[in-house]
């Protein structure tokens, strides 16, 4: 009903009686608008920003997490952490994690998205199946793999008579990463497919008329067209690779012998196993540093689409 009214509004709307009244009205509206945007902002500031600033401060203290009294210890926490061999393992593991997530799920996501682009009839069906692991809880996914696949007694690995990779030092990290990637790649398929479908049809037709085959159309038309999406998802992957926690914590607890420790589990153990909250904050700070670099990059890349 209101949309039908819309065309009539143009002319009376333009004749505004008093400039001052308009200004007043606008100021009042601006105040209302700030009021409307404030709940979202305040919630984020009180729960994310202010505690974040505290982390920044407490990273330089011997805080034990009980109350807020703590001694300033300077850069001792950072020195201790960097000297800790487990930290080196964790950082290396985060980088391995990043390398895995920037390749395997991306390749599978692109391949399946490109195939779904041509397969119109079954598209929804496949997308729903691919997304099933993604919508399930990490706790459920991890425990399902642990119980029925990585189980030496009664699981798939038990059936094959192979020691599960979660129990071996060289493979434990990859065992956790495999489950995380299994749950994640379908999401990339859907995101890439969504981006590919935005590719202008005339570009694809022009390329096809020029005699380009499926592969050439993909490389020269679709890939350049989804470049912004690829880049943003890549930056997101960098951020989340440094924050990896759930699957490692649930499947290997960072073990055996710290072999699958990542910075997320390393920090968590400081806080909630040995109550060295100051050190935990320091590790959190190091993790955030990598995330922050990627986050600035992300904001920079997306500035155009953000501010248009």
Partner 1 sequence: MRNYFRDVIGHLVLAIFAVTALVPLVLVLLNSFKGNSEILGNPFLLPREFAIENFVTAWKYGRFTEGFVNSLLLTGTTVAVVLICSSLAGYVLAGQKVRSWPIIMVYLTMAMTVPIQLFIFPLYAVAAGLGLIDNVFVVGVILAAINMPFATFLMRTFFLNVPVEVEEAALVDGLNAFQLITRVLLPMVRPGLITVGVIVGLNAWNEFLISSTFLQGRDVKTLTLGFLTMNATFSTDIGPMMAGALVLILPVLVVFIALQRYVVDGMASGAVKG
Select from 104, 106, 108, 212 the one that contacts partner 1 (CB under 8 A).
108
With contacts defined by CB under 8 A, how many residues of the chain interact with partner 1?
Answer: 117
CA distance 255 to 81: 18
Cα gap 271→64, rounded to integer Å = 8
CA of 209: how far to CAs of 39, 114, 119, 212, in Å? Answer: 54, 19, 21, 7
Q: Which of 248, 290, 289 is nearest to 269 (CA)?
A: 248
Asked if 147 is part of the footprint of partner 1 (rule: CB under 8 A), the reply reads yes
Q: Does 60 bind partner 1 (CB under 8 A)?
A: no
Q: How far is the CB of 209 from partner 1 (least distance, A)?
A: 17
List the x/- string, 1-40, binding to partner 1 by CB under 8 A. -xx-xxx-x--xx---------------xx-xxx-xx-xx
Considering only 107, 122, 206, 219, the residue that binds partner 1 (CB under 8 A) is: 122
The reply to whether 112 sits near partner 1 by the rule CB under 8 A is yes
Of 81-89, 96-104, 125-133, 202-210, the window that binds partner 1 (rule: CB under 8 A) is 125-133
Residue (of 63, 3, 133) closest to 279 by Cα position: 63
Scanning 83-91, 96-104, 118-126, 201-209 for contacts with partner 1 by CB under 8 A, the matching segment is 118-126
Q: Token pair of 116, please? A: 């779904």
- Rounded to whole angstroms, the Cα distance separating 54 from 36 reads 28
CA 62 to chain centre: 31
C-alpha neighbours within 13 Å on the C-beta side of residue 121:
0
Residue whose CB is less far from partner 1, 170 or 199: 199
> CB–CB of 221/204 below 8 Å?
yes
From 83-91, 98-106, 191-199, 203-211, give the range in contact with partner 1 by CB under 8 A.
191-199
Rounded to 10°, the helix 172-196/85-118 angle is: 40
Q: Which is nearer to partner 1, 203 or 229 (CB)?
A: 229
Q: Which one among 43, 99, 162, 206 touches partner 1, defined by CB under 8 A?
A: 43
DSSP string of 80-99?
HHHH-HHHHHHHHHHHHHHH
Q: x/- contact string, 63-82, with partner 1 (CB under 8 A)?
A: --xxxx--------------
Q: Which is nearer to partner 1, 99 or 139 (CB)?
A: 139
Return the residues of window 239-298 that contact partner 1 according to CB under 8 A. 239, 242-243, 245-246, 250, 263-264, 267-268, 271-272, 277, 280-281, 283-285, 287-288, 291, 294-296, 298
| Contact assessment for residue 245 and residue 239, using Cβ atoms and an 8 Å cutoff | no
Question: Closer CB to partner 1, residue 173 or residue 280?
Answer: 280
Give me 123's structure tokens. 């598209």
Q: Is 181 in the site for partner 1 (CB under 8 A)?
A: no
Told to check if 137 binds partner 1 by CB under 8 A, we report yes
- Whether residue 228 contacts residue 300, with contact meaning beta carbons closer than 8 Å, is answered with no
Contact criterion met (CB below 8 Å) for 291 and 239 = yes
């Amino acid at each position: 009903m209101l949309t039908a009214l819309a065309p009539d509004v143009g002319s009376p709307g333009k004749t505004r009686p008093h400039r001052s009244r308009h200004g007043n009205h606008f100021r009042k509206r601006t105040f209302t608008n700030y009021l409307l945007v404030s709940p979202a902002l305040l919630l984020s500031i009180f729960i994310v920003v202010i505690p974040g600033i505290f982390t920044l401060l407490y990273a330089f203290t011997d805080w034990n997490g009980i109350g807020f009294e703590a001694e300033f210890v300077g850069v001792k926490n950072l020195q201790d952490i960097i000297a800790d061999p487990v930290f080196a393992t964790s950082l290396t593991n985060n980088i391995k994690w990043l390398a895995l997530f920037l390749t395997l799920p991306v390749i599978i996501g692109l391949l399946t998205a490109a195939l779904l682009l041509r397969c119109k009839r079954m598209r929804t069906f496949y997308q729903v199946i691919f997304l099933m692991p993604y919508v399930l809880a990490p706790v459920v996914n991890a425990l399902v793999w642990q119980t029925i696949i990585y189980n030496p007694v009664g699981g798939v690995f038990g059936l094959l008579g192979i020691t599960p990779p979660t129990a071996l030092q060289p493979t434990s990290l990859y065992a956790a990463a495999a489950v995380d990637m299994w749950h994640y790649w379908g999401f990339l398929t859907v995101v890439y497919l969504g981006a590919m479908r935005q590719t202008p049809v005339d570009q694809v037709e022009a390329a096809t008329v020029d005699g380009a085959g499926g592969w050439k159309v993909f490389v020269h038309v679709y890939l350049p067209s989804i470049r912004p999406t690829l880049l943003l998802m890549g930056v997101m992957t960098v951020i989340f690779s440094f924050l990896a926690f759930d699957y490692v914590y649930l499947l290997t607890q960072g073990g055996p012998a710290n072999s699958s420790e990542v910075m997320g589990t390393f920090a968590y153990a400081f806080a909630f196993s040995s109550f060295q909250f100051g050190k935990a904050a320091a590790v959190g700070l190091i993790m955030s540093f990598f995330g922050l670099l990627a986050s600035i990059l992300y904001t920079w890349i997306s500035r155009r689409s953000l501010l248009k």
